[in-house]
């Protein structure tokens, strides 16, 4: 029987090195106590922040010092908990860190209302008097922009204190899906029992054995059906929290509130959805190609991830993946390539799945630490692409932290997904141009097509679902599991018209953790669109375009997202990048058809 190892059975070299944050739990405890003191020091500035230029500078510096330390404390606790979500001690660490973060947010909640209580002219006078305030110019602009949606200091403090409550639905969902749910084992292609987990579910759906894929699909969604009411309740309450928080900040809709934070016009969201819907024919062509290649009368939901090529996906070890990725990013310059290689050898990555480990993958870390990457590496092409993806995030953070002050070191998700997908796209071109094994190349092309499908089209479908669910709730409609199943099932039928949509797949919304971060998923679609445009420019213009892209990475959040992307030569205020990406997808679908059907 295939089994998932315990964490203690995994070699240290394949675990992330959290000592870059804290040497041990005792050091974390000391930092936690120090952070509590910093929170108190920050709170003491309430009511005084804009008294004069010197006090404003002191307040901002104390805010940064506090949030840097709290971020370190929170990140360590969160990553320790993710290593094994069953570990009660680290669950307690994470709960304490969340409370600390809420306390820090509450203590600093006075800052923006106090800044908004004075005019821009007054702030400019402070900057003229105290030159150290000059670096905060864009920050001041952003804060003043949000004045119509910022409440009194008392209300802001209350909203900050309620952050644990308003985020509770997502936390409950995370514990249910990662720690409590146990998926059944199924009979594998060789007759042995195979364990199904959230991390290996998609890999099993890529098996050449169609009956095995069906068993995996049905057993997986049967388990979700058993917690249908619990997940439905958590999602409903998450949506309600989004709506209430938007109302508290004087927004008409939750979507408007979510997009206004990073200053993204809602038209960008609508343009994406409209452009994708106008081009669903190419997604239908991909589905029809898959049906023909698989030789089936009807394409079923358990067929969607099956590779078009006949052979099993080749194994790609972690060591091989590292080598391919390092070679692939060469067009981004020697410094970028060297830093990525250093990261892979410095235990940035927690590589393999273990029992209780959080599913999926992410890039984390803080301003004061190295990047950290959580993986559940499965020795396949898909995992190699996921590693490239997360390394894109990590190099973005690494370069931004090196080049920007703390206030601008983070960046919005809208631009983050560009960096990750640039790496994926470069990897695809590198493999197709250098690997001689024809079957391997076909699998690479198939993988990239699948990533296009799941990133541009599937995430846009998610964005439609999320938007409509919020609209329904805002109109007073009840978001019952039946209603959500129907909404999701209808969208699935529209997007995957040539395929047979079954009752089980209508529950797929239940397994999407990103729905607990309001209006997050659309940025995957805009990200891949921008990334394809960036790579096209680099392949055409070479080092000139690569340097512009590196400048974009180094800019952090010093400008608004749309302006940052213009540094890299991409204008997401127009439909052009989305249309161009879809054209690229269409070309790859046609190339694959020539390879497998001729």
DSSP state of 179: I
DSSP state of 19: G
Work out the angle at residue 102's Cα, subtended by the Cα atoms of residues 96 and 105, and round it to the nearest 5 degrees.
140
Provide CB contacts within 8 A for 518, sequence distance 6+.
238, 242, 254, 255, 257, 258, 466, 470
Q: Given the DSSP bridges, would you call strands 299-300 and 349-352 parallel, antiparallel or unpaired?
A: unpaired
Q: Which helix (H) or strand (E) holds 299?
A: strand 299-300
Cα separation, 111 vs 47, whole angstroms: 9
Is the distance from CB of 494 to CB of 280 less than 8 angstroms? yes
Neighbours of 9 (CB within 10 A): 10
Residue 518's nearest CA partner among 166, 148, 100 is: 166
Phi, psi of 227 (to 5 degrees): -115, 25
Helix axes 318-328 and 381-403, enclosed angle (nearest 10): 50
Residue 458's nearest CA partner among 431, 422, 433, 495 is: 495
CA distances from 135 to 132, 138, 140, 146, 453 (A): 7, 8, 10, 19, 41
Cα separation, 438 vs 551, whole angstroms: 37
Can you say how many angstroms the Cα of residue 493 is from the centroid of all Cα atoms in its chain? 26
Using the Cα atoms of residue 404, residue 407, residue 408 and residue 409 in order, give the sign of their dihedral. positive
Residue 8's nearest CA partner among 83, 79, 78, 75 is: 83
Three-state SS at 352: strand
DSSP labels, 417-480: HHHHHHHHHHHHHHHHHH---HHHHHHHHHHHHHHHIIIIIIHHHHHHHHHHHHHHHHTT----
390 given a catalytic annotation: yes
Over 353-380, what HEC string results?
CCCCCCCCCEEECCCCCCCEEEEEECCC
Helix, strand, coil % over all residues of the chain, rounded to 5: 70, 5, 25
State the catalytic residue, choosing from 112, 390, 474, 559: 390
Structure tokens at 386: 């996921």
Alpha helices in 108-198 (DSSP H): 111-116, 120-129, 137-145, 153-161, 163-166, 168-175
Provide CB contacts within 8 A for 555, sequence distance 6+.
400, 403, 404, 408, 564, 567
Cα separation, 334 vs 321, whole angstroms: 19
Which of the residues are catalytic? 390
């Amino acid at each position: 029987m295939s089994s998932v190892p315990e964490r203690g059975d995994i070699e240290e070299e394949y675990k992330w090195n959290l000592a870059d944050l804290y040497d041990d739990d005792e050091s974390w405890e000391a930092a936690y106590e120090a952070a509590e003191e910093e929170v108190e020091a920050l709170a003491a500035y309430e009511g005084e922040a804009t008294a004069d230029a010197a006090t404003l500078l002191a307040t901002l510096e104390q805010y940064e010092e506090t949030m840097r330390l709290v971020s370190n404390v929170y990140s360590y606790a969160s990553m320790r908990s993710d290593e094994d979500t069953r570990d009660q001690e680290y669950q307690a660490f994470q709960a304490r860190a969340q409370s600390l973060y809420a306390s820090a947010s509450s203590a600093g909640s006075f800052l923006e209302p106090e800044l908004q209580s004075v005019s821009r002219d007054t702030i400019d006078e402070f900057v003229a008097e105290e030159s150290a305030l000059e670096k905060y110019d864009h920050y001041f602009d952003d804060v003043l922009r949000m004045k119509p949606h910022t409440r009194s200091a008392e209300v802001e403090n209350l909203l900050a204190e309620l952050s644990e409550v308003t985020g509770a639905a997502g936390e409950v969902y995370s514990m249910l899906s990662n720690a409590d749910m146990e998926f059944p084992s199924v009979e594998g292609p060789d007759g042995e029992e195979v364990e199904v987990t959230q991390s290996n579910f998609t890999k099993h759906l890529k098996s050449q054995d169609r009956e095995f894929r069906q068993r995996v699909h049905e057993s997986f969604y049967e388990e979700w059906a058993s917690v249908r009411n619990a997940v439905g309740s958590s999602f409903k309450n998450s949506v309600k929290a989004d709506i209430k928080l938007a109302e508290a900040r004087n927004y008409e809709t939750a979507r408007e509130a979510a997009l206004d934070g990073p200053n993204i016009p809602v038209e960008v969201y609508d343009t994406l959805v409209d452009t994708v819907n106008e081009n669903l024919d190419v997604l239908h062509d991909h589905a029809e190609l898959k049906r023909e290649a698989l030789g089936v009368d009807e394409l079923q939901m358990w067929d969607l991830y099956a590779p078009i090529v006949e052979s099993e996906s080749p194994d790609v070890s972690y060591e091989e993946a590292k080598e391919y990725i390092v070679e692939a990013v060469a067009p981004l310059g020697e410094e970028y390539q060297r830093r990525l290689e250093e990261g892979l050898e410095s235990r940035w990555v927690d590589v393999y799945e273990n029992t209780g480990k959080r599913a999926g993958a992410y890039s984390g870390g803080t301003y004061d630490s190295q990047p950290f990457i959580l993986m559940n590496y499965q020795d396949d092409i898909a995992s190699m692409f996921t590693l490239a993806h997360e390394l894109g995030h990590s190099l973005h953070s690494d370069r931004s932290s090196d080049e920007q002050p703390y206030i601008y070191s983070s960046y919005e998700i809208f631009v983050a997904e560009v960096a990750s997908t640039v790496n994926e796209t470069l990897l695809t071109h590198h493999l197709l141009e250098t690997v001689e094994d024809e079957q391997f190349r076909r699998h690479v092309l198939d993988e990239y097509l699948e990533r296009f499908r799941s990133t541009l089209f599937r995430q846009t479908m998610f964005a439609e679902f999320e938007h409509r669910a919020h609209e329904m709730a805002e109109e007073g409609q009840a978001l019952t599991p039946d209603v959500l199943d129907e909404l999701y099932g209808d969208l699935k039928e529209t997007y995957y018209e040539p395929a047979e949509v079954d009752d089980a797949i209508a529950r797929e919304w239940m397994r999407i953790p990103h729905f607990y971060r309001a209006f997050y998923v659309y940025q995957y679609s805009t990200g891949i669109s921008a990334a394809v445009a960036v790579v096209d420019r680099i392949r055409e213009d070479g080092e000139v375009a690569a340097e512009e892209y590196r400048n974009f990475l180094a800019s952090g959040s010093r400008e608004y997202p749309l302006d940052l992307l213009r540094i890299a030569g991409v204008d997401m205020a127009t439909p052009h990048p989305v249309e161009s990406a879809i054209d690229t997808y269409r070309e790859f679908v046609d190339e694959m058809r020539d390879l497998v059907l001729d």
